[in-house]
Structure 1
Amino acid sequence: MRFIVNDTPLDLDPAHLIIAGWTGRDAAAIQHHIDELAELGVKPPSTTPLFYRVSAGLLTTGDSIQVVGNASSGEVEPMILQSGGQRWLGLGSDHTDRALEAHSVAMSKQVCAKPCAARLWPWEDVADRLEDIRLESWIEEDGEWVVYQQGTLASIRPLGELIDGGSLDALSRDGAVAMMCGTFGAIGGVRPATRFRMTMTDPARDRSISHEYSMVQLPEIA
C-alpha cells in the first residue's frame, strides 16, 4: 500500500490489522455505545477494551468498497500504523456489517473492508497533543451530508495504553501493523449509508486528513 507522510510516499503492506473496540474513556459513553448496538441485537462485550484481529488485506485507501446487502456502516477512528521502530497516526473507518454483528462482532468486522486515508502524520509530530486531535464523520442521507460522529481523542483511552494492549511493538517485529483505535457514538443512532466522509484535525497546526468512500451494495442471495 502507498501512504503519504509529509508529501513523501511511504510503501507499506501491513502484515497485521487490529480493531480495538469498546475503547471509550468515559464509562457512560461506553455504555451508550453498547446500548445503541443492543438495539440492533448486538450482545455486550465480555470485557473492555477488546482487540479484534482481522485480515490485514481488508485495509484499503480506495474510495469505494463492496458490501453484501444494505446493513453496513462506517465508524471514524484514529489509526496507528507501526513498522519496526517507526510509528504514524492516520485516519480509518471500521466499516462493519450490522446484521452480522448481532451474531458475532468479530465476524462482522472481518467481512468488511477497512477504508483509511493515505496521508499519515509522524507520531512524534502529534504525540504531545493527541487528546486535542479531533475526529468527525458524515453520512449522505437523501442527497445531503449529515453529521454522524464527532469528538476528540480525549474521549478515547490513551493511545499508548491501546498500543500496549494490542501488542503493537511485538507484532511489528515481523511486519507492519495497523490498529484502529475505537470511535464515538453515532449522532441519531447507528445506521447504514451509501457514502461516508471523515476528517481528522490537528488544531495546533491547522491541518487535517480527510477521506471519503462509497459503498457498492452486492445482492444478498439466500
Structure 2
Amino acid sequence: MRFTCAGNTLDLSFTNCVVAGWTGRNPDAIQHHIDELAELGVAPPSTVPLYYRVSANLLTQDDKLQFVGEGTSGEVEPMIVIADGKRYLGLGSDHTDRELEAHSVALSKQACAKPCASELWELDPLLDRLDSIELRSWIRENGDWTLYQEGTLAAMRPMADLMEGCALEKLAQDGAAAMLGGTLGVKSGGVRPAAAFRMEMRDPETGNVITHEYEIETLPIVA
C-alpha cells in the first residue's frame, strides 16, 4: 500500500493487523458503546480492551467497497502503523458486519475490508498532545451527510497502552503492522448502515486534516 507522510512516499507491505476493541477511557463511554451494540444483539466483551487479529490484506485505500448484506457499518478509528522501526498515526474505519457480530465479534471483524486514508503523520512528535487529536465521521442517508461520530483521542485509552497490549512492536518485526485503536459512540440514532461513510482526523494545533470517504455497495445474500 502507498502512503504519504510529510511529503514523502511510503510503500508498505502489511503482515499484521489488529483491531483494538472496547478501548474507551471512561467506563461510562465503554458501557454506552456496549449498550449500543447490545441493541443489535451483540454480547458484552469478556474483558476490556480486547485485541482482535484480522488478515492484513483487509486493509484497503479503495473508495468503492462491496459488502454482503445490508447489515454492515463503519467506525472512525485512529490507526497506528509501525514500519521499519518508525511509528505513524493514520485514519481507518473498522467496517463491521453487525449481523455476524451478534454471533461472533471476532468473525465479524474478519468479514469486512478495513478502509484507511492514504496519508500518515509521524506519531512521536504528537505524543505530548495526542489526546487533542479530533475524530469525526459522517454517513450518507437519503442523499444527505449526517454527522455520525465526533470526539477526541482523549476518549480512548492511551495509544501507547494499546500498542503494548497487542504487542504491536513485536508484530512489526515481520513487516509493517497496523492497529485500529478503537472508536467513538454514535451521536444519535444508533449504530446503522449507510450508503457511504466519510471520516476525518484533525490536529487542532496545526489545522492539518486527514480524510477518507468510501461508497458502499450491498451484495445479495444467497442461501
Match of 1:53 in 2: 53
Residues 167-190 of structure 1: CA distance to partner in whole angstroms, max 9, x if unpaired? 011111111100000001112210
What letter corresponds to residue 30 of structure 1 in structure 2? I
What letter corresponds to residue 198 of structure 2 in structure 1? R
Residues 83-107 of structure 1: CA distance to partner in whole angstroms, max 9, x if unpaired? 1310100000000000000000000
| 1:219 equivalent in alignment to 2:220 | yes
Match of 1:185 in 2: 185
- State how many pairs are aligned: 222
- TM-score with structure 2 setting the length: 0.98
What letter corresponds to residue 193 of structure 1 in structure 2? A
Counterpart-to-counterpart distance in 2, 1:100 and 1:7: 40
Structure 2 counterparts to residues 64-103 of structure 1, below 5 A: 64-103=64-103
Deviation, 1:194, is: 1.4
Deviation, 1:124, is: 2.1
Counterpart-to-counterpart distance in 1, 2:142 and 2:7: 36
SS of the residue aligned with 2:120?
Answer: strand
Counterpart-to-counterpart distance in 2, 1:97 and 1:7: 35
SS of the residue aligned with 1:36?
Answer: helix
Match of 1:138 in 2: 138
Deviation, 1:119, is: 0.2
What letter corresponds to residue 6 of structure 1 in structure 2? A
Structure 2 counterparts to residues 23-38 of structure 1, below 5 A: 23-38=23-38
Structure 2 counterparts to residues 112-191 of structure 1, below 5 A: 112-188=112-188, 189-191=190-192
Residues 120-157 of structure 1: CA distance to partner in whole angstroms, max 9, x if unpaired? 00112312210000000000011100000000000000
Residues 195-216 of structure 1: CA distance to partner in whole angstroms, max 9, x if unpaired? 0000000011111000000111
The CA RMSD measured in Å over matched residues stands at 0.7
Match of 1:20 in 2: 20
Counterpart-to-counterpart distance in 2, 1:197 and 1:181: 18
Counterpart-to-counterpart distance in 1, 2:107 and 2:39: 19
Percent identity reads: 59
Residues 4-56 of structure 1: CA distance to partner in whole angstroms, max 9, x if unpaired? 11121100011000000000000000001001100100000000000000000
**Structure 1 residues without counterparts, runs of 5 or longer:** none
What letter corresponds to residue 153 of structure 1 in structure 2? L
Counterpart-to-counterpart distance in 2, 1:156 and 1:113: 23
Counterpart-to-counterpart distance in 1, 2:168 and 2:108: 23
**Structure 2 residues without counterparts, runs of 5 or longer:** none
Moved segments of 4+, more than 6 Å: none
Counterpart-to-counterpart distance in 2, 1:181 and 1:139: 20
What letter corresponds to residue 149 of structure 2 in structure 1? Q
- TM-score with structure 1 setting the length: 0.99
What letter corresponds to residue 137 of structure 1 in structure 2? S
Counterpart-to-counterpart distance in 1, 2:117 and 2:198: 11
